[in-house]
Structure 1
């Protein structure tokens, strides 16, 4: 068990720069054969490191420490961010160490992980951080040599004059630190990149292989107590609590009722799990919620409602449908889903008067601090937040409910507390992907051209269920997009690729239905619509037409779209989180049964900083999109989910993943998001391929629970 020792930010940065391993400063390992850390005095620290900006420090021996400010939950940002700094710095990557920076709003802007926005937000900032440090180092070297800085070049952490090495960075670091940084610096030309775009190993590979990264579940402090919490069903409140049996469990030291929760306190989690099962809690309705869980009735009522919010309207939709030669209609529906990260929610808190220390896995450390400050009524400046590595998140850790639980219990108990959720807690604790139903209509003229388009989205705690400015908006003369929402006690939250994770499947499947009715090739129909939007745009265009065309054409080309007579294919394309992804799913028939053999993906995410990480993100998004489209569901009874663990909440298995082929389109743009964009198109590509192979149209997820799918027995086979 690891111990997270206290350091303030200044000491953290300084200590970090002195440790050769550099990855886990502030930790020690308790095993007898574990590495030990030498504790340096302030004088020793100050003699070894100089900070050039918030993002990096360089020591006199030339070692470079780069700080990754955003939380790492598996998207490789802890590798790709430092790569950008090191590229502009011309650092020797072998001498670079990477550290997770703690929360510091003064030094870092947008210090969170979510919405696939970290890379596009930080791209220029990170480049300037590295370029500024290099400018100062070169200026210091020029001063020492009494030459013009323009006569010097840099490479691999060294400075050259007339082709001859003069200094490594550490030899001029003291002088450079005394200089004034310029307000603006010149950045490299993309063609001169030597590190960005190369398959650099993840900086934590060795540590991960040997089990060293610290997750929230690893946190331990002397004097700390553990807590697990029984939360109420949705729409219910506590009427009475009998905790006598729970208190009798060995290892349980206390039971605390706070707000609408019951917490069991003890030395370790196993007694707490047993004690929770011994709690006898009686609940009663917290208002008129009896009908809030009849989702089918709610959807039907809202679909028929005349009070929808108009999100976008172009042209004369009513006349277009009145004069249509053919009208195509369909409804698509998706269920609630749990985020189900590998590491359930947990957090450590120690409230000491008006000071609070928080440690754990969070995608939004500032939100954790702000909500804790609001709860306890203390200044946010009195709260520190240290970020551990996250064992997955997918949007669930954007919230801070599990953080304030720990803070509140620490305040009540006057002790450091670590709150841990079990897997059942995680699945029943809310913040799900919203359940949504979509109703589509398309009006076609005599030539099969789409002259009208309508979309009505109805969501349960979903907010805006549409992306009203996404394709095909702007490509159809007469268009109406509406939204309705039902408020439910069931709590919802952003779930990987919010809204688009299902909307893309519904839209892309419906467009295939339209192509079939119009007797058009699905890919050509989409390209024709995009060309129409390019030549005669209708209203505002909020997506890049050429980038979308680029991924469509690449995916069609790389998958041999329509050219293999024995392969049935399904197509899908979507724009989300600033990036464009097109996918083609291949199905072959084997003794009368469909076999999903391959998914080909074409991605335009701008400059690919870290190819290995990018490849993992695309493949991971496809696997995630496929698994949840095909298998996963969450249903409710009396305010409680029926699915409580992975025995009933079906996730995709390794053997069910087909071959995935990944291609990138170089559009010349700066990097855009990649943590989420590959997920939305996957369900549509597979569903459209299933239709092409079997004639069965799947309009609801998960596929395995649809009667249209029950006798297909789709197989997955890797080539």
Structure 2
């Protein structure tokens, strides 16, 4: 039970709200509020994007339910439930009466219709709470006017406003009066954090039952009139193009409706996906060469090694090691990694005349609309991008390959299409985290690190398909995007302050993309492994070294908690060991401690993991736990087995059976997530936070258990399968 106004914060002058009358509903729209000073350069990029109107649309309907149209993507991270919790808590409404949907692409939102960079809760924390608080204030005022009772005398329980004499009305009954544009009410801000009741409580996802029972609607579940199944016969090498195809034979195949040659291959429409896949496999196509036909895993890694800049700082070339000093030079290689989302690329498109409707999971739907309009040569205001629930992403759905290809095929066939990429297509022609080579030069003396340098060479990350274009259009030339993101995170130790770290990107014409944690997933992972190497060289405890040099009290407390909760230093016996990793980014930090059983070095398994995370104010602890465990599985996978082998211009991996992401048998049976107590800090980011720490912890544990020093990841990277035919 809550009263109307005591303790409510004043509304910021930079928060704008508008009320509209729509029948019996109250509808509010909100612009973004001014955010706290960003703590890192990635935040600065996002915050510097132009301010937009109508960020969040909230509607109180006649049945008392509250609906919020969210300009973000739900790709498995539980965002819709977290936003529903914010609304319900501010309005004293049951969570079951709060419905969050995904808003279609809206061009006026520019950068604020972007899902990525672990930025969603950070960017929505104030706007969502502010608009919900305003809706609540208007509803209370409407009740006050109806009953001639002071607002302070009213209470709200479960979306029902009650007067002292017992008269009551649910929100829906007050919505029309609350929407009166002439209504005079006392503007209030969100509740004080200490008054939040639902926020901070472990809460199941609202869509969990629908997901596990198959009732959740994904792109290919849509029933768009006349949209028929389409698949694409793709080239045998990356970026190959069609030289010729026997269209007549294809059109004569059972169930085939239409055929079209597009830039990505031969599109085949059929009555069912089964017919379409059979025709695809039978298609007789000759191909022009691709763009990396002469490249292989070894040749790509060799190019990166040769492109890595030399050391030039105080500990580098031209500066001899002095008496009493010790130099550590270590090189690391990271293989490309598939996003491997459960849902492959898919989209539904209906292009007719100068109009286009496209349905897909999109992290940048407004940019998708721009790209589709430009490609098809139609007005931007004639393109509608409908955002669907996504079956995973990890950065994959920042890119428009599926939606754009579907729109092109629909134009070519002049009919609606339901496009599905096969798993083989998704693995072999989808985007991947680029291969990386990084090397370190560290000089040790007098029990400390006196010099630390890191050089990185990576296959160029393609930012032209999404976020890079967004930032480029708004702020800066595209070459700065990689450098900005690369330098957005720092090694969080005193001995790395002022250190030299450089990135060189090697242009290789292969499909790459932002993979969960982007550069941090390799660059910071390598740095955390290097910290363990330094600790060994100094005969120091790896956790003690971190504790003594970490440059933030919150980070130090996370590490202390990890030491206690994980029983750091335990003797696990031969072939078993602990490993730790730490990472700080997005105004948050996470530390991982894993225990690995590598008594058989070829069959290692992480048996236990303890994760300590500090993200400031937590909205849904259950969702945060899931994110941290997901990062753990990414770390286990990419450190031990998961990667892509390239041979003659194409990845060999074509299925989950070949891309060795961790299975149930590889997951630790004992996992504990410790969430640090919420302080006064606004929420930080979480979605990508744990990957570098988890990957480093696994690598460090494996090294200690096997008494080896792995430098190439994944560690166990054999081609132990028969590749599918090209």
Report the CA distance shift for 1:241/1:343 in structure 2 as closer, same or farther (over 3 A). same
Deviations along 1:200-242, one digit per CA (max 9) or x if unpaired, are 2311133234322111121233322322112332254433333
Higher RCO (Cα < 8 Å, 6 or more apart): 2
1:443 matched residue in structure 2: 443
1:273 matched residue in structure 2: 277
1:695 matched residue in structure 2: 707
1:146 matched residue in structure 2: 148
CA contact (8 A) 1:577 1:676 kept: no
Q: CA deviation at 1:624?
A: 2.2
2:590 matched residue in structure 1: 581
Report the CA distance shift for 1:392/1:477 in structure 2 as closer, same or farther (over 3 A). closer
Any residues of structure 2 matched to 1:306-705 within 5 Å, and which? 322-323=321-322, 325-445=325-445, 447-462=446-461, 463-464=482-483, 466-467=486-487, 469-472=489-492, 475-476=495-496, 479-530=499-550, 533=551, 545-563=552-570, 566=573, 568-587=577-596, 596-658=606-668, 659-666=670-677, 667-705=679-717
Deviations along 1:464-497, one digit per CA (max 9) or x if unpaired, are 4944751146544662212212111111000111
2:227 matched residue in structure 1: 224
3-state DSSP of counterpart to 2:583: strand
Report the CA distance shift for 1:483/1:411 in structure 2 as closer, same or farther (over 3 A). same
Report the CA distance shift for 1:287/1:85 in structure 2 as closer, same or farther (over 3 A). closer
Q: CA deviation at 1:698?
A: 1.7
Q: How far apart are the structure 2 equivalents of 1:416 and 1:67?
A: 26
1:37 matched residue in structure 2: none
Q: How far apart are the structure 2 equivalents of 1:223 and 1:268?
A: 12
How many residue pairs end up in the alignment?
Answer: 643
1:49 matched residue in structure 2: 25
User: Is residue 202 of structure 2 the alignment partner of residue 199 of structure 1?
Assistant: yes
Report the CA distance shift for 1:581/1:407 in structure 2 as closer, same or farther (over 3 A). same
CA contact (8 A) 1:317 1:480 kept: no
Of residues 248-257 and 230-239 in structure 1, the stretch that sits farther from structure 2 once superposed is 230-239
Any residues of structure 2 matched to 1:56-205 within 5 Å, and which? 56-106=58-108, 110-161=112-163, 166-179=168-181, 185-205=188-208
Q: How far apart are the structure 1 equivalents of 2:599 and 2:252?
A: 60
CA contact (8 A) 2:219 2:347 kept: yes
1:11 matched residue in structure 2: none
Report the CA distance shift for 1:228/1:454 in structure 2 as closer, same or farther (over 3 A). same
CA contact (8 A) 1:368 1:404 kept: yes
Q: How far apart are the structure 2 equivalents of 1:591 and 1:500?
A: 30
Q: CA deviation at 1:108?
A: 9.4
Q: RMSD between aligned alpha carbons? A: 2.9
Q: How far apart are the structure 2 equivalents of 1:439 and 1:107?
A: 41
CA contact (8 A) 1:132 1:182 kept: no
Q: CA deviation at 1:433?
A: 0.6
Report the CA distance shift for 1:287/1:344 in structure 2 as closer, same or farther (over 3 A). closer
Q: How far apart are the structure 2 equivalents of 1:468 and 1:450?
A: 23
Q: How far apart are the structure 2 equivalents of 1:675 and 1:55?
A: 24
CA contact (8 A) 1:321 1:327 kept: no
2:301 matched residue in structure 1: 296
CA contact (8 A) 2:296 2:646 kept: no
Report the CA distance shift for 1:382/1:689 in structure 2 as closer, same or farther (over 3 A). same
2:254 matched residue in structure 1: 250
Report the CA distance shift for 1:606/1:551 in structure 2 as closer, same or farther (over 3 A). same
Q: How far apart are the structure 1 equivalents of 2:619 and 2:498?
A: 40
Q: How far apart are the structure 1 equivalents of 2:60 and 2:295?
A: 62
CA contact (8 A) 2:396 2:515 kept: yes
Q: CA deviation at 1:381?
A: 1.6
Q: How far apart are the structure 1 equivalents of 2:707 and 2:403?
A: 49
3-state DSSP of counterpart to 2:712: coil
3-state DSSP of counterpart to 1:185: coil
